[in-house]
Structure 1
Amino acid sequence: MDKFTTLTGVAAPLKITNVDTDMIIPKQYLKTIKRTGLGEGLFSDLRFKEDGSENPEFVLNKPAYRNASILIAGDNFGCGSSREHAPWALLDFGIRCVISTSFADIFYNNCFKNGILPIKVTAEQLALLFDDAERGSNATLTVDLENQTIKGPDGGAIHFEIDPFRKHCLLNGLDDIGLTMEKADAISTYEARQAKEHAWL
């Protein structure tokens, strides 16, 4: 997966609490096992009207946020069923970072495995970030994973905590397969030894 080091981009304010995975990517999009193409279904029940036309009131349809790469969201983001399609859809749309006060555990873990950085902040910090995001495309945020900071358009910075192992994986673009491949030499050595010592297996 792509490395996550520093991300500077427009942040879209999604002031909704308890956004569940069915809201992120509705069930009709779960037939595929491909990670691409799901961006069109992201928040589709909110982005589109019943006739298929865009809902101009939804934040990601507004001109200032069409190219947002950061999502500022309400409490308990990613709750509901444990569908990995949710981070797939966010990533395919272009969202690399989601900031909230809290996340559902499974969604939170799935983000790291797919190259998305989920950041937990306090309610006070979230309010400040919402204020920044509501300025539109003229006010960008910079997320610096190495230094664990979020810098606002006025130069202010918020520090965030992250598990060191998860930070290492994102900085180096390592998903579960990538982590395994880091041990490729050791695995090959072990297999060669096993073949020699237990030839009958």
Structure 2
Amino acid sequence: MQPFTTLAAVAVPLDVANIDTDQILPARFLKKPRSAGYGNFLFHDERRRSVAMPLDEPPYAGAGILVTDRNFGCGSSREGAVYALVDGGVRCVIAPSFGDIFASNAAKNGLLTVTLPDEAAAALRARLAASPGAIVTVDLPAQTVTDPDGAAIPFEIDPFKKRCLVEGLDDVALTLEHAGAIAAFEARVAAEEPWRVPATAG
């Protein structure tokens, strides 16, 4: 997983509440292999029917940050919604609140979710709408979001989630941190209780 420390990127304002995972990635695309990338399916249907979806406007080309309204990522638990965002180049989503399962999936895939108060998130969206293509800087170690005018907005994050994102630790990497203890346990079991060790094909 790619570590997340500081990101300075074009930010897209999405002034819409309750964006669900089916809007982020329509269910019919879940059968596609992840190896092919999900970026082309990000907001697939919304981008074809909504005038309020600015992702395809030239000033927002290559955007790495979304600034949205409350309850982003609600609905189903599909991890593919996070894949679509990450594969589409988005590294951070800023909103007043998130769907719980979405936020958990995001952290495990290197996508930072920043929770700001309603007023702060709304003010940031308004500032970005007034200056399309403006840069926002997110500093995870310092836990700040810096708006295009240079004002730093602090945010809170769970310390464990922060560590995993900063160090690029997914669930596999976290398990491998205990590789020595796991090997020692397996060796002890093999020596003391060999009948518990599966026979290997030979």
Task: Please state how far the C-alpha of 1:33 moved relative to its aligned partner.
Answer: 4.6
- Indicate conservation of the 8 Å contact 2:14/2:52, yes or no: no
- Indicate conservation of the 8 Å contact 2:55/2:61, yes or no: yes
- Indicate conservation of the 8 Å contact 1:140/1:153, yes or no: yes
- Indicate conservation of the 8 Å contact 2:69/2:122, yes or no: no
Aligned twin of 1:46:
46
CA separation in 2, counterparts of 1:75 and 1:43? 17
CA separation in 2, counterparts of 1:33 and 1:194? 39
Q: Which has the larger radius of gyration?
A: 2
Alpha-carbon RMSD across the aligned residues, in angstroms, is 1.4
Gaps of 5+ in 1: 50-54
Written as runs of structure 1 = structure 2, the 5 A alignment for 1:65-76 is 65-76=60-71
Normalising by the residue count of structure 1, what TM-score does the alignment of the two structures yield?
0.93
Aligned twin of 1:197:
192
**Larger deviation, residues 140-149 vs 33-42:** 33-42
Normalising by the residue count of structure 2, what TM-score does the alignment of the two structures yield?
0.92
Post-superposition CA distance 1:115-157 (Å, at most 9, x none): 00001110111122113322122x2011000000001121100
CA separation in 2, counterparts of 1:112 and 1:40? 21
Choose which of 77, 81, 85 in structure 2 pairs with 1:86.
81
CA separation in 2, counterparts of 1:81 and 1:118? 17
Aligned twin of 1:32:
32
Task: Please state how far the C-alpha of 1:87 moved relative to its aligned partner.
Answer: 0.4
Q: Does 1:99 align with 2:99?
A: no
Q: What secondary structure, in the 3-state scheme, does the structure 1 residue paired with 2:34 have?
A: coil
Aligned twin of 1:7:
7
CA separation in 1, counterparts of 2:140 and 2:32? 31
Aligned twin of 1:110:
105
CA separation in 2, counterparts of 1:71 and 1:144? 15
Overall identity of the aligned pairs, in %? 50
Q: Does 1:21 align with 2:14?
A: no
**Larger deviation, residues 119-128 vs 88-97:** 119-128
CA separation in 1, counterparts of 2:85 and 2:91? 8
Task: Please state how far the C-alpha of 1:2 moved relative to its aligned partner.
Answer: 0.3
- Indicate conservation of the 8 Å contact 1:13/1:71, yes or no: yes
